[in-house]
Amino acid sequence: MRETLIICASLLVLAVCLSGDGTATAAGMDAAGAAGAETAAAVGDIDTSMPGDPAAGEVVYSRVCFACHGTDGRGNGGIGGDFVGDPERLQQDNAVMIATITYGSDNEGRIMPAQGSVLSEQEIKDVLSYIRREFGQ
């Protein structure tokens, strides 16, 4: 009886693994196809392949981000990150950028506060598109 249970459990795990692999590959290919050159990784439940609207993002930026990052994206005298002076900040993958904005970050005590409870997923994508368009190079 015990052996039967173990064999059944093993087969179940194998079946789940096999079907899991198949699904993941198919979904990955679909997402990569739909997103073109964009990174299609996911951050939690957020689909990072979906682009944002920079015009809507400008509204979000001037409401929430400008106080620390400055209207010119230069970090407002060292309060927030300087996007213009350090262009690599905005060149990270969508997944990394969206995670930073959603969950915040702590760079040796320099705190980027989490925005996930303040902004919707779409607003985060919008504001990311805006800062890349406006301050990326």
Q: Bridge-partner residues for 47, per DSSP?
A: 42
Nearer to ligand HEC by Cβ, of 58 and 113: the residue is 113
Beta strand 42-43 with 46-47: parallel, antiparallel or unpaired? Answer: antiparallel
99 binds ligand HEC (CB under 6 A): no
Is the distance from CB of 97 to CB of 46 less than 8 angstroms? Answer: no
Residue from 2, 77, 107, 137 touching ligand HEC (CB under 6 A): that is 107
Interface residue with ligand HEC among 40, 43, 65, 98 (CB under 6 A) is: 65
Among 49, 80, 99, 132, binds ligand HEC (CB under 6 A): 80
* Long-range pairs of 59-68 with CB within 8 A, sequence gap ≥ 24: 60/119, 60/123, 60/126, 60/127, 60/130, 61/127, 61/130, 61/131, 61/134, 64/115, 64/118, 64/119, 64/127, 65/127, 65/131
Q: Can you tell me which of 42, 89, 133, 134 binds ligand HEC, judged by CB under 6 A?
A: 89
Between 40 and 61, name the residue whose CB sits nearer to ligand HEC.
61
40 near ligand HEC, rule: CB under 6 A? no
Please tell me whether residue 111 adopts helix, strand or coil conformation: strand
Q: What is the DSSP letter of 38?
A: S
Q: Which of 43, 73, 131, 135 binds ligand HEC (CB under 6 A)?
A: 131
Give the residues lining the site for ligand HEC (CB under 6 A).
Answer: 60, 64-65, 67-69, 80-81, 89, 97, 100-101, 105, 107, 110-113, 115, 127, 131
